Structure 1
């Protein structure tokens, strides 16, 4: 388990509920974490779960509204640079806040943490992404006002957020004022030293705006600094009530708003329906874009809250019809798995032009960068639950292939493409190359995701649409990076790379990298060999590929060096790893975790200590490359040397322990991963949710307890029921069909719905089901 001290963890106390996060009252100490957990998004637009009225000074809170894939390109400054260092960072920008409401009663302002509450409840419903709140405010005059707010970020209209805000008098008599619009006066800075954090202010992102009023909507346009990229935001308010309401426009520096004034008596209320829209463009005239956004807001307002919600909910209903997991248990497993699935689906890009940030759209962590964990952890989740999203994430990589080619040349490779370790726009943004650029295994991760997607979905068109070209170009890098080493009997060796374990950097023959490269080269060679002469000649002409080069890929794969220690009977993580001294875990205080924040990298690199699984991850992704005994010995050796400082660690160790026969320990790791953000177990959820960990929760259940492995295009399953569970179920999208598993103690019921028969393996036995067919099989 993570060795982070419990004293660092502060998490909201949600009420038990399988589908909702229910928070009563207001707790200042956990506010920033709640904002992350209650974030809303749709893959393009995301906003943190902050209160509309804000919080009192001194309370940790991070306001944030973001557009996925829209970033500030900022120079990286080095005191001592070298050739090939990343030159610019991409930082996900803040855009104008459209959800703020300034509420006053007389001369008293309502603000969380300062105003007197006579009860408050806030609910995020994961079934439909609606965030609702009821607050009862006791004013200084003694009267009570009730606030009811609902908001959603539309899954049906990518740039749209809709808010319903009602203010009602319980027994208050007097004037009230509501001001709402677009605000750019927020953001900036983060506390302490933590390279995982990141935050800008709106002013640091966007140049001085221009504003206009069109057809009842207020529109503002900004240019992203250093790029000229255009960001538009607009809002429109409709209001009603059983009292007279006066309205006036507010235009101040950084604020474009509408102020509503009324006098309320007991039993009276006013309701505001607010429609907020965002868009971004690389090219095009501002005037034309303004007109389009204004017309869109008018159309949305005419359609109304209820109709927009209906369209939005239909998307969620379709997702949950496939992705929902049920668990009959006394543990809050359903809430945890659904929470992860909810944030994954709402955070991932869906148009092929943007991907899934490490923190999704829930916070500023890692500057909104995309990493390898999208392909290794998130794509499997989407592959079986929303394959169109898996396709979109791979299409994003294809769209940045030219940038990867350019990076390869910068790194001295005469051929091929090298994808960046962390990026938004396609360029390398990691300024720490030992744990960044050196992680060449990202090329293999992208290839692995592509091949898995094609095998399971049957979508060969993606290969023709750039996938094959990407597979071949990324395979070329291994031939330039490695060589046939006479000192190791002619084996193909790869030097000076970093594997998934970032506590061991710049090594030779990292086992994970070598095996994933081997798989990559073999898959690339197999695809090239499968082409007709006409098809091969077409792609060969495009990228200057020869049959000799393809043959070299196969030879390198066949001769790949696989480090193995005969004395210990385990795979060495890399050359020299087993020669290093052990880390003094007993002498390391809990407050010194994660190690990366308390020890120089060289101190860590000199020891046998892991941040996350490396060899163990390889044996989960490539199970056929290891015997059962090797898997067990590898796990027994490496897990005690792993800090689990990465949130990518627990889920893989859950699967590995199940595979090696320790279900009790596996369940501990499983609990760690599905409660990771809900309980703030790494004490950094305030920066944003951990997307890959959320996908890992699903993997731990389906790959772990469900025993799912992929044998080419065939799923192989070995379902088992954990102690304390009475049953569980999940579904797998296989091509155009859907396979449902319902697992009990002794048997698994399979139900298939699809146009064509499906074939899979159950405990090694081949099973074929026709459409609408059901079967019950023993769990052995």
Structure 2
């Protein structure tokens, strides 16, 4: 059974009714962010029940020393982790001297959470009775500003229902925090200064080892009727925290509010010795606007985002809610304004995977940002990898590779590998292919070839050198083979000749050679500079050609399909449909040994190659491979259903495509994998966008032209989306009757619809 407590709504995520068992899941689902920082939906007031506290700052991390049972040469020294940052949202509340705590309250009624995705705010409300028998209504509203991305705002409103009451608000900031996923219980933060100024408070601290300097700040005041109280009654300052106290006698049926602004200034953006000064400047800006003025700005900023990135679906409210939730979280995680940042698999919603950069960015996310923002945003994601090329070369050197071979990390914050499971760190090397594919995908979509001579060619040379050194000649097969790898399907570790890895390696070598020719012909000065810098020789490129031409690709004549890897047919090929449902998901019920010997596929592997390189194969070949592999796929990776949805739509299997779409779009809302309390699956959410735009919309770029093969699930009346294609905004609307394409300005644009040319004019 999947969870089903989230109420269907086209623009909001809504929970009704208080359930202690759901608190951690809801903390993930109602998370908020603004690209620079984010936080789980923890209660502002004290809560003594199970909770997972989390506030995070983009780009601020700690190198937590690796913890493994047996050290192997080449292991990364540390696992870089996005840190649980000092807490700025906290507000202790006392009701006639008794703490407000939902874990100790009785008669909790009308409990509701709402994440309003259209306008970018989160609200929680309830009526409850405290242990000293005061019944009260609470409404708390919170958002992280997009227009002032160092600050968030809270309005905490209380109305006593059954008697006049003394209400004491104690807003605070606290640097005495820990990470849920700490390896050694290290101290991650060192606090250096705790200060206050009128109704503002500041904690200056820095991360251990990495020495990121951060000022956590707040400003608070209360409003009761016409009375605005900006001077606290008292202050409580300790070594790691500071708080204020505001007392107010409140008449029965009347409302008192605490307004709190808070957030972080960081030395990534300001001078390290002027962080408190910078915090004062941002507090001046937001307090002059006031809570309501800041919220109006927020609504306008989100309206602008939705204008371009919304996908509207008519006739299917759960499908509509699912895609908007995915688009909302992607925009909360990465806005494209800072090329030093990237997209972590959990974004700002939890600590799993360390909050680092994975191959997901290049394989899944690039398309979304390229089409819904502009090519500059996508270019920043590519530049991020170019900036880390030297580290990728160092990573390869640690494993024994030479001559400028580059192995991009599986997991990283600053370009260094920080993942420490050997079967992934050393063997899941297909990630190198996704980096190269992103360069190809970007140039194909934007026609901006300037990235290749400026930065991309050096990246491709490093990657090609790695692949050429990673293979070895098999005298037995008279082919180049790749031994000891893990493909995208992590339920097969340390296998030989994973088809996807071999195929993408072959493609990378061919693509690097192509781009060398292109740069030599069109950018001779850049070519000369790059050849001198990389010391690339004709002998070396000759070897690349030879490896690409003789790469071994495992194939079964009997089944007429490429094999996942050499030993796939040696497995006991029992289909997923014949598994006991009580044993699903298998990663929570089976031993790892049993999983590795099974035929079960965690995510698209061979089919991932068919997704990337669909022009290399016929539709008949796709169908044969889909029918062979999908029955063995358990989809226990968040990155699996979206690829299957795109391919099922291409094969015109719309019911299957729709089922996969619902699974990818509601993966977290319905908690398919029973793990949502750890955080959301942010990068796979870009795959959900792909499943509509590339799956149902059939969007591709072929021979420089934008192409569509539109389809619509029978459950939908209509859907529409917008695409930014080479600075032309195209709106696509698809109904059960047909499809409509519009451009709003600029030169006419020729597109292909079901392979027929159509010219669009504004």
With normalisation by structure 1, the TM-score equals 0.91
Q: Are residue 441 (structure 1) and residue 427 (structure 2) matched?
A: no
Structure 1 distance, partners of 2:187, 2:749, is 54
Closer/same/farther in 2, CA of residues 591 and 406 from structure 1, 3 Å limit: farther
Q: Secondary structure at the match of 2:7?
A: coil
Match of 2:211 in 1: 228
Q: Are residue 320 (structure 1) and residue 320 (structure 2) matched?
A: no
Match of 1:777 in 2: none
Q: Secondary structure at the match of 2:626?
A: helix
Q: Secondary structure at the match of 1:631?
A: helix
Match of 2:196 in 1: 213
Q: Are residue 94 (structure 1) and residue 80 (structure 2) matched?
A: no
The 5 A counterparts of 1:151-550 are 151-189=142-180, 198=181, 204-214=187-197, 216-242=199-225, 247-281=233-267, 286-348=272-334, 350=336, 351-387=338-374, 388-414=376-402, 415-483=404-472, 485-489=474-478, 491-531=479-519, 532-550=523-541
Structure 1 distance, partners of 2:258, 2:156, is 5
Shift of residue 708, structure 1, vs aligned partner:
2.1
Structure 1 distance, partners of 2:103, 2:325, is 27
Match of 1:129 in 2: 120
Please, which runs of 5 or more residues in structure 2 have no aligned partner? Answer: none
Moved more, 614-623 or 703-712: 703-712
Question: Which of 44, 51, 54 is the matching residue for 1:61?
Answer: 51
Closer/same/farther in 2, CA of residues 717 and 557 from structure 1, 3 Å limit: farther
Shift of residue 502, structure 1, vs aligned partner:
0.6
* C-alpha RMSD over aligned residues: 2.5
Q: Are residue 71 (structure 1) and residue 61 (structure 2) matched?
A: yes
Q: Are residue 38 (structure 1) and residue 27 (structure 2) matched?
A: no
Match of 1:195 in 2: none
**1:380-408 Cα distance to aligned partner (Å, 9 max, x none):** 22221123443333232222222111101
Contact 2:164 2:252 in 1 (8 A): yes
Structure 2 distance, partners of 1:508, 1:133, is 53
Question: Which of 563, 567, 571 is the matching residue for 2:562?
Answer: 571
Match of 1:81 in 2: 71
Question: Which of 706, 713, 735 is the matching residue for 2:697?
Answer: 706
Q: Secondary structure at the match of 2:501?
A: helix
Please, which runs of 5 or more residues in structure 1 have no aligned partner? Answer: 1-5, 190-197, 773-780
Shift of residue 310, structure 1, vs aligned partner:
3.5
The 5 A counterparts of 1:722-761 are 722-761=713-752
Contact 2:265 2:278 in 1 (8 A): no
Contact 2:194 2:240 in 1 (8 A): no
Shift of residue 463, structure 1, vs aligned partner:
3.5
Shift of residue 304, structure 1, vs aligned partner:
2.5
Closer/same/farther in 2, CA of residues 587 and 631 from structure 1, 3 Å limit: closer
Contact 1:126 1:339 in 2 (8 A): yes
Moved more, 267-276 or 27-36: 267-276
Shift of residue 554, structure 1, vs aligned partner:
4.4
Structure 2 distance, partners of 1:231, 1:750, is 48
Contact 2:13 2:114 in 1 (8 A): yes
Structure 1 distance, partners of 2:215, 2:693, is 42
Q: Secondary structure at the match of 1:207?
A: strand
Moved more, 717-726 or 138-147: 138-147
Closer/same/farther in 2, CA of residues 44 and 15 from structure 1, 3 Å limit: same
**1:342-375 Cα distance to aligned partner (Å, 9 max, x none):** 0011112631112111111111222213211121
Contact 1:187 1:200 in 2 (8 A): no
Q: Secondary structure at the match of 2:242?
A: strand
Contact 2:483 2:495 in 1 (8 A): yes
Structure 1 distance, partners of 2:185, 2:160, is 35
**1:569-603 Cα distance to aligned partner (Å, 9 max, x none):** 11111223223333585885445444344444444
Closer/same/farther in 2, CA of residues 546 and 765 from structure 1, 3 Å limit: farther
The 5 A counterparts of 1:650-689 are 650-689=641-680
Q: How many residues align?
A: 752
**1:487-535 Cα distance to aligned partner (Å, 9 max, x none):** 444x443332221111112223221112222332232222221123222
Closer/same/farther in 2, CA of residues 199 and 363 from structure 1, 3 Å limit: farther
Moved more, 400-409 or 448-457: 448-457
Match of 1:22 in 2: 14
Q: Secondary structure at the match of 2:56?
A: strand
Shift of residue 160, structure 1, vs aligned partner:
1.4
Structure 2 distance, partners of 1:524, 1:227, is 36
Shift of residue 138, structure 1, vs aligned partner:
3.6
Closer/same/farther in 2, CA of residues 439 and 710 from structure 1, 3 Å limit: farther
Match of 1:616 in 2: 607
Closer/same/farther in 2, CA of residues 71 and 750 from structure 1, 3 Å limit: same
Structure 2 distance, partners of 1:670, 1:552, is 43
Shift of residue 176, structure 1, vs aligned partner:
0.8
Shift of residue 562, structure 1, vs aligned partner:
2.7
Shift of residue 284, structure 1, vs aligned partner:
8.2
With normalisation by structure 2, the TM-score equals 0.93
Closer/same/farther in 2, CA of residues 560 and 27 from structure 1, 3 Å limit: same
**1:237-281 Cα distance to aligned partner (Å, 9 max, x none):** 233323585521111353211111111113543332221121333
Contact 1:143 1:173 in 2 (8 A): no
Shift of residue 186, structure 1, vs aligned partner:
4.6
